[in-house]
Amino acid sequence: NIPGILHAKILTSTYSHARIKNIDTSHALASPGVRAVVTGINYPVLCGIIIRDMPPLAMNKVRYYGEPVAMVVADSEKEAMSGVTKIKVEYEPLPVVNSIGEALKENPVLIHEDLDKYQIITDNIFPEPSTNISHRVKIRKGDMKKGWDESRVIIEGSFYLPQSDHMAMETRNSRAKVFKDNTVKISSATQAPYTVKEMLSQDFGLDTGKINVEVPLVGGAFGGKAAVHLETLSYIASKATGGREVKIVNTREEDFMTSPCGIGFEAKIKLGASSDGKIKAAEIIYMLDGGAYADICPRMAKAAAVDCTGPYNIENLICDSLSVYTNHPFVTSLRGFAHTSYTFCIERMMDKLADKLNID
């Protein structure tokens, strides 16, 4: 803590999917010690490293339980927390997409109705409008009919791995100060200081040369602190208070429910092999639960596709890998960038294949 520093706390959504009908911040603004209250209306921008689909504070509707809806900046953390409790939000609940299966069914509830209008930052990313698919990667190789014809044994398997959390010892945190010449100083427990510079510049039209990012200690990360999240909120909080230095720190609960987590993963795999164990054909579908916003999930879907068979050279292959929106927390990298998820599935299939063939 620095003498005179302000503290920010966020009000989070109590719904997984709902329209925001009204936000009353008047009582919070009148609360002792409160310097500013910020909502999505104050900063109507969309952020994203691949697809610009995520507002820093929810606008129009919320898309996951725990999504930041408003932020209170006050003289002390206690006063900021008290101010948060005085914000009143009126919601209109919407149907919840609570699984990949619900997201991919015919005529699904759409999490992003304007998917076709979002700006795409990275080349070769193809969101599918009127669906909950933010990206799809297809691999096609060899002659599938030949592969299945040569297979004496065919097995199938389905796998489900839920979203998980990084549980770093130090929760996510960020400190920001905006100077009069628009220089920005960010001090953050981040793995990716250059990504912080890039994203703040892109999202708010800042000169990268005027953004200074300091990383004193990371406090554990494992991929979870590569995403830019609280850094954006701390910047907004400093702007809202005329450039005062502002600190925002997640509670453990906020780290679990508000900040990005590890992907959920579902797989359907079909393998064909000769009687001596030579794999002749594979048909694979990987579905990544990317949560409410794309972040880097489309890139992880690509990573899963290009290495979809693990270490095994299979001549005849079909693989589809999908990055899917759900009403879950959005995701970021977690120990292996999707490789650990599909490797588990492939290796379990090898166990099933060996068992079927009665070989090692």
The DSSP secondary structure of 253-278, one letter per residue, reads: HHHHHTS-BBPEEEEEEEEEE-TTS-
Closest CA to 94 of 165, 179, 19, 169: 19
Q: What is the DSSP letter of 299?
A: H
Which pLDDT does position 123 carry in this prediction? 84
Q: What is the DSSP letter of 120?
A: B
Q: What are the counts of helices (DSSP H) followed by strands (DSSP E) for the chain?
A: 9, 15
**CA–CA separation, 26 vs 278, rounded Å?**
70
Q: Which tokens belong to 226?
A: 């590569």
Is 90 exceeded by the pLDDT of residue 122?
A: no
Which pLDDT does position 1 carry in this prediction? 79
Q: What is the percent of the chain where pLDDT is above 70?
A: 100
**CA–CA separation, 48 vs 292, rounded Å?**
12
- pLDDT tens profile 164-220: 998 999 999 999 999 999 999 999 999 999 999 999 999 999 999 999 999 998 999
Is 90 exceeded by the pLDDT of residue 262?
A: yes
Which pLDDT does position 217 carry in this prediction? 86
Which pLDDT does position 330 carry in this prediction? 97
What mean pLDDT is reported for the chain? 96
Which pLDDT does position 134 carry in this prediction? 98
Is 90 exceeded by the pLDDT of residue 2?
A: no
Amino acid type, 179: F
Is 90 exceeded by the pLDDT of residue 278?
A: yes
- pLDDT tens profile 308-359: 999 999 999 999 999 999 999 999 998 889 999 999 999 999 999 999 999 9
**CA–CA separation, 57 vs 25, rounded Å?**
14
Q: What stretch of H or E contains 156?
A: strand 153-161
